[in-house]
Structure 1
């Protein structure tokens, strides 16, 4: 208990300091992303990864908080995915390379002896989907970090209910590191998460959910997984439908994500993050209650229904303001001259 509090406090402070220190080197090296018409350094993700791994390793090395069977390998695989994401941040890897690398890492951590082959393949698919969905969720300041912190606490509660103390401590340390990073990532952000941090977040959280549900029924497990990643899944499905219906390339970036649509409805950037964070909390709470048996499996259907309804409603929101026609511009200029 005391170690968990100390570890989380240390992770929060170290991540906040390291993210600030890496900002200038990232700008000088050009490891940036375009956001709000300005370059945003994206080495905040490696700061979160490094601090999480360091604090977890100290707990394992001192034997104060051993990670437990399989959890160490999970963290190593997540770190490997983060390195792949860092390469993508620096050299812009193709999407299929990220997918293949994440799939290989996921295949190495799934406990097939408890999930079975069919359940294991489904788990691998979910881990890859969640990792890429979190990467897409990093489209606005503070969103991926906020949803990641909420999900980490929910997954940690599920792990604690299964007496997986090492995994629960790891997730609390990770949540604290993300919180330290968010000190620099809240709008207007000074440091970004990048592909490295986003992939690490999605991989670690979805893999932790797979670990906690190992040995349970496949249908109920899939429902809990979905609840824990509901906001990221909604964003992914919204973007997929938008670009498919408009016949746009799926990998081309655009203002068609959840937060973009909410801002078109009049919400401020922080307001959209708060709303989506609250939605994530609600879905994660349902997943945790279903996992612990406090509510029935039918509650998952409510989450699925809300996600589908939200996607269909926001799909009708234009992603960009209507363009002014040439005739409108000409008539407008004539009115100005005549006035």
Structure 2
């Protein structure tokens, strides 16, 4: 317990420091979030991944919080998924590349000895879906960091109740690292998480949740897993449904996430992050309560009902057009340069 608190505190401070330290070098290298009007470097994803991996590996090597073979493999697979996400940030890979890579990683880390093959395949599919959903949350300042922090702490609490110390420390460190990143990502954001950070966080959270719930029944397990990740799942369902109704390609970006629609209602950016964080906390409390037996399984149905109402209420809300930065041609640039020279001469 004391090591977990010390590791989480260290992760918070180290992530905040490293995120700020890497900001200027990545800004100069042009490793930026392409969806924004102003240059925002992607140092958050690197900081969160490095801090989580280093502290978890240090605890395992020192014997203070042994990860075990399965959880160590989970962390290694998460690092590979994060590296693949960084490649997406750098080279704009096709949408199916990170999806396929995440599917392979999920299939390799699911504990089939506890879930069975059919249940393991379902669990792997759920890990892929939640990982993609967490990437979708990285669409507004503070949203991915807030929801990720709350969800990771919720999974850590479930792991602690099962005396899975390695998983609990890993998720606590991840939650603290996301909180440290959030200090720089609060509106107006100075850094962003990027596909590398969001895919890493989503994969580790989803896979760890599967480890915690493995062997406790598919139906009950699915309910707890959904409650823990209710906001990410609701956002993904809203996006898919809205794009299908609008006959818009599901894999093509569009400002139609929960955060975008809340902003269109006039809610401030910081308030959107707080609101989605509170909603995530509600789902997490239900998930932890059901997992520990303090709440009945029917409480999950209330979470699903609220999420369904939100999705149906927002699905028809108009969205703003996608922002596309203008690219000046070389002739236009030369004309502007010539005009400036004439004016200055």
* TM, length-normalised to structure 2: 0.91
Q: How big is the shift at 1:62? A: 1.1
Q: Which runs of 5+ in 1 are unaligned?
A: 322-339
Q: 1:132-171, aligned counterparts within 5 Å? A: 132-171=132-171
Q: 2:73, 2:312 → 1: CA distance?
A: 39
Q: Could you give the per-residue CA deviations for residues 299-334 of structure 1, whole angstroms, max 9, x where no partner exists?
A: 11111111111000011221128xxxxxxxxxxxxx
Q: 2:202, 2:10 → 1: CA distance?
A: 23
Q: How big is the shift at 1:70? A: 1.1
Q: Which moved more, 1:16-25 or 1:276-285?
A: 16-25
Q: Could you give the per-residue CA deviations for residues 128-158 of structure 1, whole angstroms, max 9, x where no partner exists?
A: 0000000011000110110011001110010
What's the counterpart of residue 189 of structure 2? 189
Q: Are the equivalent residues in 2 in contact too, given 1:43–1:191 (CA < 8 A)?
A: yes
Q: 1:24, 1:192 → 2: CA distance?
A: 13
What's the counterpart of residue 13 of structure 1? 13
What's the counterpart of residue 312 of structure 2? 312
Q: 1:51-70, aligned counterparts within 5 Å? A: 51-70=51-70
Q: How big is the shift at 1:230? A: 0.7
Q: Could you give the per-residue CA deviations for residues 91-132 of structure 1, whole angstroms, max 9, x where no partner exists?
A: 111111111100000011100011011110110000000000
Q: 1:80-119, aligned counterparts within 5 Å? A: 80-119=80-119
Q: 1:114-125, aligned counterparts within 5 Å? A: 114-125=114-125
Q: 2:251, 2:29 → 1: CA distance?
A: 25
Segments ≥4 residues shifted beyond 4 Å = none
What's the counterpart of residue 76 of structure 2? 76
What's the counterpart of residue 245 of structure 1? 245
Q: How big is the shift at 1:35? A: 4.9
What's the counterpart of residue 270 of structure 1? 270
Q: Are the equivalent residues in 2 in contact too, given 1:66–1:166 (CA < 8 A)?
A: yes
Q: 1:143, 1:121 → 2: CA distance?
A: 30
* TM, length-normalised to structure 1: 0.93
Q: 2:22, 2:320 → 1: CA distance?
A: 34
Q: Could you give the per-residue CA deviations for residues 23-47 of structure 1, whole angstroms, max 9, x where no partner exists?
A: 1122122211145521211121111
1:200 aligns with 2:200: yes
Q: 1:288-327, aligned counterparts within 5 Å? A: 288-320=288-320
What's the counterpart of residue 339 of structure 2? none
Q: CA RMSD in A?
A: 1.1
Q: How big is the shift at 1:297? A: 1.0
